[in-house]
Amino acid sequence: MIHVRVKAYAELQGYNPEKGEEFTHEVQEGSTIQKLMESLRLPEHRVMLILKNEKKAKEEDSLSDGDAVFFYPVIGGG
Amino acid sequence: MAFGCNGKILRVNLTTRKISVEEPGEKIYRQYLGGGTLALHYLLNELKPGTDPLGPDNILIFSASVLTGALPAPGMNKYTVAAKSPLSGGLGESEAGGWFAPELKAAGFDAVVIQGKAAKPVYLWVHDGEAEIRDASHLWGKVTGEVQKAVKKELGDERVRIAQIGPAGEKLVKYACIMNELKHFNGRAGLGAVMGSKNLRAIAVRGTKAQEVSDRDKASAILKSVRESYVEDPAGLGCLGTARVAPILSAGGILPTRNFSTGSFEKAEDIGGKRLAETILKGRGTCHGCYIRCKREVEARTPYEISAEYGGPEYETIASIGSLLGVGSLEAISKGNELCAQYGIDTISFGTTVSFAMECYEKGILTSRDTKGLDLHFGNHETMLKLIELVARREGFGDLLAEGAEIAAKRIGRGAEKYALHVKGQPLPMHEPRGKKSLALAYALSPTGADHLENPHDPFFEKEGGMKDIHPLGLLDPLPSLDLSVRKVRMFVYLQQYYNWLNSIGMCIFAAKPFGPFTITHLVEYTRAVTGWDTSLWEAVKVGERYANLARVFNLREGLGEKEDRLPERLHQGLEGGLLKGEKIDPEEFARAREMYYGMMGWDPQSGVPSKYKLEELNVGWTLPLLKS
């Protein structure tokens, strides 16, 4: 198992309210970001931007121990 | 007469002081529903082209809808103010929520149509089927908070709801706004200046009439179902407000920063909703009937004294007088928000006009002699705050900026024009078309000039899951935000008519899909239940199309056509920084998209003139002679 640092911005916290905005999460070694999102119950269509270690990332990208993954929600008006 | 409507339009002539009531008949309500669509029925029939927007012959309309006030319901509280705009010379219209529209309906009217100009300052008092024109000389020149208190005291009723302009509207600042209950703004299109040009300071309304609803049980059941489907996010729109948006857009490289030069702002986190909630947030405000409670109320003592009576900064303001100006102080932004509310100035247009001036100053096109000693470097929030009062009073350098970026740039010359970011004179709002490409169409093609609320933005519809909300419109396939192909144009056409329909029924976008709990199907069923009409989504979208076509005819008659359906040059240049560095709107791709839009709308693909077939199909063939004239 590996550990990644997750930051879920704004309404994305709603899917894991007990965890808050920033937390550490455990996933299988070699997991993709997609697997991480499934594990966190983050719906694909609610995520506008994924940054892995401050660089733009895709759901297919794989994760290593210690990676920082930031999820930003879809917002669009106001 | 259908249920849900009063069937009565209040007509006021401020020159003759004549007040009358018009009853247009059910078919007018059914085909226009309310909002800007109903307003256009009057504007096209009664306003001559070429009328001075700040002269007595302009017509100012406040329009609720057939659904407003029927039952307390989230988002169902908006009204449109419409007139010929002093910014564009074309259609001006803007929506606001709050409390005014349900009260107007309760007072027995669906809309107010105001003509002429009062000999001296007045306010209109509308109450339970009656209206009178009252002296406002003692209110003229006062800030909005003082007027709010004074009028309620004078009328002896705290529950009176007041729509008013501020001192900026009195001074005909080109982007002066109208507000109700101090916190809800018809911000755009310079409608506050139109109201000020009529010597009309405020409209106070109070009513006790309940709307009759055709099938109250059915309507209540729908609202119950909507309520049950709504789950409040602990860090979403309700809890953190639209204020949470700034850091998110900055991470995505699409936060308008330093006059749209770049898309990422180093101080974005300092001006976001989380920081706001941790520091100066006093409470969450709302509008009539709405449990989403998205509005901010802030209070502070240092470094600026800020009162919660004016609410607090929403996203547009956080960007327009924040990142857009390189200002990273949430306190300064919040103070600026309060000042703009006190004086009655659109924060969006003010911000984009000041950012224009700041870039000119940075580039030496403006000097301290021109600015009368003010330092206009990006980031100078003290200057930003000083400029609000100078603009509102049309004093010093503020007098030039009060004209808006387009005219200010023309008067300055020396190459300033390329830094004035507007469409049809309306300064750009705080969303970046280079990262959400349907906005290229929205900004260029909105009848009122650059407008960020023509349609729900691209990021909602990038994945299959996001399409569910708009399946009833027949939109099934997701598209990338950066796509501007024919498929994106089709998506924009359908979504624009959806939003045109929402505006016609006075529905807040935050309470309807994709933002909020009302589905498209709910809204159609709710309309049937309230009005008793055997109506459908088909008929509803046709109302949206009707708006688009009536607005187009209005603008063409005023000389606004395809030449004005353009974007400022900067949007055709690459973003200078952030995650989307280098991204731009390709001019040829835009031209193709624009032609496709015209054609899909049933307009001539080159000139954008609606075909007679389209106008007849929408049952507005009566506008054809207006096009020819």
Q: For B330-347, give one letter per residue: b (16+ CB within 10 A) or e.
A: bbbbbbbbbbbbbbbbbb
Mean pLDDT of A53-60: 95
Min Cα–Cα distance to chain B from A61, Å? 17
Q: Which CATH architecture has domain A2-73?
A: Roll (3.10)
Find, among B218, B6, B222, the residue nearest to B109 by Cα: B6
pLDDT above 80 for B234: no
Q: Does A45 touch chain B (CB under 8 A)?
A: yes
Q: Which pLDDT belongs to residue B238? A: 87
Q: Which residue in this structure is represented by tokens 């550490």? A: A24
CATH of B237-419, one of 1.10.569.10, 2.60.40.420, 3.20.20.140, 3.40.720.10: 1.10.569.10
Q: What is the pLDDT of residues B458-472, one digit of tens each?
A: 999 999 999 999 999
pLDDT above 70 for A77: no
Q: What is the pLDDT of residues B114-150, one digit of tens each?
A: 999 999 999 999 999 999 999 999 999 999 999 999 9
A26 Cβ neighbours under 8 A, 6+ residues apart: A1, A2, A3
> B629 falls in which pLDDT band (50, 70, 90)?
low
pLDDT above 70 for A78: no
Class level of CATH domain B438-515+536-628:
mainly alpha
Q: Is the dihedral of CA B484, B489, B491, B492 positive or negative?
A: positive
- Length of chain B in terms of residues written: 629
Mean pLDDT of B285-289: 96
Determine how β-strand B200-206 pairs with β-strand B122-127: parallel
pLDDT above 70 for B267: yes
Find, among B503, B500, B484, the residue nearest to B567 by Cα: B484
Amino acid at B502: L
Q: Which pLDDT belongs to residue B236? A: 85
Q: What is the pLDDT of residues B288-312, one digit of tens each?
A: 999 999 999 999 999 999 999 999 9
B153 Cβ neighbours under 8 A, 6+ residues apart: none
Tally of helices (H runs) and strands (E runs) in chain A: 1, 5
Q: Of the candidates A49, A70, A76, which has its C-beta nearest B457's C-beta? A: A76
CB contact under 8 A, B579 and A56: yes
User: Quick one: closest CA in A to B237, which residue?
Assistant: A11
> B2 falls in which pLDDT band (50, 70, 90)?
confident
CB contact under 8 A, A11 and B236: yes
The ranges assigned to domains in chain A are 2-73
Rounded Cα distance, A41 and A28, in Å: 16
Rounded Cα distance, A63 and B394, in Å: 58
Q: What angle do CA B501, B504, B505 make, to 5 degrees?
A: 95
Q: Does A78 touch chain B (CB under 8 A)?
A: yes
Ramachandran angles phi, psi of B614, nearest 5°? -65, -45
Q: What angle do CA B168, B169, B171 make, to 5 degrees?
A: 65
Rounded Cα distance, B249 and B158, in Å: 40
Secondary structure (3-state) at A4: strand
CB contact under 8 A, A74 and B231: no
Q: Which pLDDT belongs to residue B158? A: 97
Angle of the B520-531 helix axis to the B537-557 helix axis, nearest 10: 90
Q: Which pLDDT belongs to residue B241? A: 87
Taking all residues of chain B, what is their mean pLDDT, rounded to a whole number?
97
> B231 falls in which pLDDT band (50, 70, 90)?
confident
Find, among B21, B24, B105, B40, the residue nearest to B618 by Cα: B40
Determine how β-strand B422-423 pairs with β-strand B426-427: antiparallel
User: Quick one: closest CA in A to B275, which residue?
Assistant: A10
Q: How far is CA B183 from the centre of its chain?
A: 14
| φ/ψ bin of B353: left (φ > 0), alpha (ψ from -120 to 50), beta (otherwise) | alpha
Find, among B13, B293, B53, the residue nearest to B190 by Cα: B53
Mean pLDDT of B28-55: 98
CB contact under 8 A, A11 and B579: no
Q: What is the pLDDT of residues B568-619, one digit of tens each?
A: 999 999 999 999 999 999 999 999 999 999 999 999 999 999 999 999 999 9
CB contact under 8 A, A72 and B464: no
Secondary structure (3-state) at B367: coil
Q: Does A21 touch chain B (CB under 8 A)?
A: yes
Q: Which pLDDT belongs to residue B216? A: 97
CB contact under 8 A, B463 and A21: no
Determine how β-strand B111-115 pairs with β-strand B9-13: parallel
Q: Does B512 touch chain A (CB under 8 A)?
A: no
Q: What is the pLDDT of residues B403-452, one digit of tens each?
A: 999 999 999 999 999 999 999 999 999 999 999 999 999 999 999 999 99
Mean pLDDT of B335-351: 98
Higher pLDDT, B265 or B237: B265
> A76 falls in which pLDDT band (50, 70, 90)?
low
Q: What angle do CA B208, B214, B218 make, to 5 degrees?
A: 110
pLDDT above 70 for A63: yes
SS (H, E, C) B417-461: HHHCCEECCEECCCCCCCCCCHHHHHHHHCCCCCCCCCCCCHHHH
Quick one: B85 exposed, middle or buried, by C-beta within 10 A (0-12, 13-18, 19+)? buried
Q: Which CATH architecture has domain B9-206?
A: 4-Layer Sandwich (3.60)
**Looking at beta carbons, which residues of chain B come within 8 Å of A12?**
235
Mean pLDDT of A20-47: 95
- Which site among B244, B250, B453 would you substitute to test the A interface, given the most A Cβ atoms closer than 10 Å to its Cβ? B244
Q: Which pLDDT belongs to residue A75? A: 82
- Which site among B240, B242, B248 would you substitute to test the A interface, given the most A Cβ atoms closer than 10 Å to its Cβ? B248
Angle of the B486-504 helix axis to the B438-445 helix axis, nearest 10: 50
- Continuous segment of H or E residues that includes residue B162: strand B161-164
Quick one: B359 exposed, middle or buried, by C-beta within 10 A (0-12, 13-18, 19+)? buried
Mean pLDDT of A15-38: 94
B161 Cβ neighbours under 8 A, 6+ residues apart: B98, B99, B100, B103, B180, B181, B204, B205, B206
> B628 falls in which pLDDT band (50, 70, 90)?
confident
Going from the C-alpha of B454 to that of each of B154, B448, B539, the distances in angstroms are 40, 10, 20
Rounded Cα distance, B190 and B403, in Å: 10
Rounded Cα distance, B207 and B155, in Å: 13
Q: Which pLDDT belongs to residue B235? A: 80
Q: Which tokens go with B517? A: 């709990």
Secondary structure (3-state) at B79: strand
- Which site among A9, A23, A38 would you substitute to test the B interface, given the most B Cβ atoms closer than 10 Å to its Cβ? A9
> B233 falls in which pLDDT band (50, 70, 90)?
confident
Q: What is the pLDDT of residues B512-561, one digit of tens each?
A: 999 999 999 999 999 999 999 999 999 999 999 999 999 999 999 999 99
- Continuous segment of H or E residues that includes residue B20: strand B18-22
Q: Of the candidates B234, B245, B252, which has its C-beta nearest A78's C-beta? A: B245
Q: Does B247 touch chain A (CB under 8 A)?
A: yes
CB contact under 8 A, A74 and B465: no
